[in-house]
Amino acid sequence: MDKTITSEVDFKAIDEILKSCDYKKSHLIAMLQKVQAIYRYLPEEAMTYIGEKVDGLSPATVFGVATFYAQFSLEPKGKYEIKVCDGTACHVRGSLPVLNAIKEKIKLEDGKFTTKDGLFTLEIVSCLGACGLAPVVVINEKVYPQMTPDAISVILDTLMKEEQ
């Protein structure tokens, strides 16, 4: 196994995570969640490391689990994670116009999820369980209820100004 270690990943921190999970393979999802909490994505080196360190796992199984669940990202995410709910209630009440307004506002290229400047990542999620407030947008854990294309533009404007 090629052990190219980049300076980016702090293996000590990952050791801590593995320790807190008792090096048990049944805690793999929790381990990956903790790694993602640090890096906002799953660096390949971290996944390989876990696969080699934990009994019963291989880098391939770790990669398999990481790609199965929607929560995990193999690419770095933007500073602001925008989640647009497209669950049934939000869909019926117009989540798509809101989604289009966001794409236009943050100037997202087709087929991409993160903006060039690394500021925004756009995600579509199925249901956030806030159906009474449809359509809903969540930006870094903060829930914005009853969105319209205009309302979300104002919110994004504010965020962009803060960043300038």
Binding site for other proteins (CB under 8 A): 24-30, 32-33, 61, 64-65, 68-72, 86-89, 91-93, 97, 100, 104, 125-134, 136, 141-145, 149
13 or 23: CB nearest other proteins:
23
Residue where the block lists tokens 């199965």:
68
Smallest separation (angstroms) from other proteins to the CB of 160: 18
Rounded distance between C-alpha atoms, residue 98 and residue 108, angstroms: 14
9 or 50: CB nearest other proteins:
50
5 or 143: CB nearest other proteins:
143
Secondary structure letter of residue 114 according to DSSP: B
C-alpha distance from residue 125 to each of 6, 13, 31, 111, 156 (Å): 32, 30, 22, 16, 19
Smallest separation (angstroms) from other proteins to the CB of 156: 15
13 or 94: CB nearest other proteins:
94
Smallest separation (angstroms) from other proteins to the CB of 142: 8
Strand partners, 87: none
Smallest separation (angstroms) from other proteins to the CB of 97: 7
Secondary structure letter of residue 94 according to DSSP: T
Rounded distance between C-alpha atoms, residue 149 and residue 67, angstroms: 32
Cβ-based neighbour number of residue 68 at 10 Å: 10
SS3 78: coil
Smallest separation (angstroms) from other proteins to the CB of 85: 8
65 or 122: CB nearest other proteins:
65
